């Protein structure tokens, strides 16, 4: 049973990465037998992997249609952005009183890594690190788990926009302004900047879709 769970996690992680980076497009079918053959496994861990991916909202299952990659339409984009904007601000408000110089240094390091990224993959890894560093001190595990899931969904948007509109190395001014506000202990400004930053992703995603 433990082996099945381990295999299921490995399958879910691999397929999840392909969904996030766009190698598997929205509405692409996922066949149990094909996946089992690829990973040299039985159908049991594949079904468990599909359940894990469905819990992360990366796949959907429907009668007679089977398991497919979850859509990334206008409604999904709006839902992701609104949920992130609301929950990440809540997390930041709870994290801010606990932000030490060490925490601020981690945020700045992620910002620098994002600014120096030469590929969209490196940029998005730094982007995730920046947003996680902002809220990690809130020490609210359920909230952080929800934000992790939403960040995965956001990564799908970033990769989709890069495929459509292209990507080039650049400085993330929004991230810099958020960090400046936190260093100045201006929490309201930091929260407003964060919400606006997240909502700008929604606008850009809808423009390029």
Residue 193: domain span? 74-208
Q: How far is the CA of 108 from the CAs of 103, 105, 157, 170, in angstroms? A: 9, 5, 24, 16
Where among 20, 44, 69 does a domain terminate? Answer: 69
Strand ranges across the sheet with 66-69: 29-30, 66-69, 59-62
Give the pLDDT confidence score for residue 117 in this predicted structure: 92
Copy the structure tokens of residue 183.
Answer: 């260093």
Q: How far is the CA of 161 from the CAs of 89, 102, 124, in angstroms? A: 24, 33, 12
Where among 69, 96, 112 does a domain terminate? Answer: 69
- Is the same domain home to 42 and 85? no
For the entire predicted model, the pTM comes to 0.85
How many domains are there within the chain? 2
Q: Is pLDDT at 176 greater than 70 in this prediction?
A: yes
Q: What is the CATH number of the domain that holds 94?
A: 1.20.120.530
Q: What is the CATH number of the domain that holds 6?
A: 1.10.10.10
Query: Residue 66 and residue 144: Cα distance in Å, rounded?
Result: 31
Copy the structure tokens of residue 4.
Answer: 């099945």
Q: Is pLDDT at 98 greater than 80 in this prediction?
A: yes
- What confidence tier does 2 reach under pLDDT thresholds 50, 70, 90? very low
Give the pLDDT confidence score for residue 72 in this predicted structure: 85
**Cα Rg of the chain, angstroms:** 18
Q: Is pLDDT at 130 greater than 50 in this prediction?
A: yes
CB atoms within 10 A of CB 194: 25
Query: Residue 47 and residue 148: Cα distance in Å, rounded?
Result: 23
- Is the same domain home to 65 and 81? no
Q: pLDDT tens for residues 40-64?
A: 999 999 999 999 999 988 999 988 8
Compute the mean pLDDT over every residue in the chain, rounded to the nearest whole number: 91
- Is the same domain home to 49 and 144? no
């Amino acid at each position: 049973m433990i082996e099945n769970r381990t295999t299921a996690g490995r399958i879910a992680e691999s397929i999840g990465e392909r969904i996030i980076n766009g190698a598997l497009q929205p509405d692409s079918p996922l066949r149990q037998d094909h996946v089992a053959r690829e990973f040299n496994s039985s159908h049991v861990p594949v079904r468990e992997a599909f359940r894990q991916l469905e819990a992360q909202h990366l796949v959907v299952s429907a009668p007679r249609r089977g398991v497919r990659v979850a859509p990334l339409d206008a409604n999904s984009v709006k839902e992701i952005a609104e949920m992130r904007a609301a929950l990440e601000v809540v997390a930041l408000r709870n994290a801010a009183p606990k932000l030490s110089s060490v925490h601020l240094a981690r945020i700045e390091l992620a910002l620098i890594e994002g600014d120096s990224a030469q590929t969209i993959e490196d940029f998005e890894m730094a982007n995730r690190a920046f947003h996680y560093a902002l809220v990690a001190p809130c020490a609210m595990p359920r909230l952080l788990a929800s934000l992790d899931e939403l960040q995965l969904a956001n990564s799908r948007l970033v990769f989709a926009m890069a495929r459509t509109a292209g990507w080039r190395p650049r400085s993330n001014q929004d991230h810099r302004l958020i960090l400046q506000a936190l260093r100045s202990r201006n929490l309201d400004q930091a929260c407003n900047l964060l919400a606006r930053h997240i909502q700008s992703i929604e606008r850009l995603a809808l423009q390029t879709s």
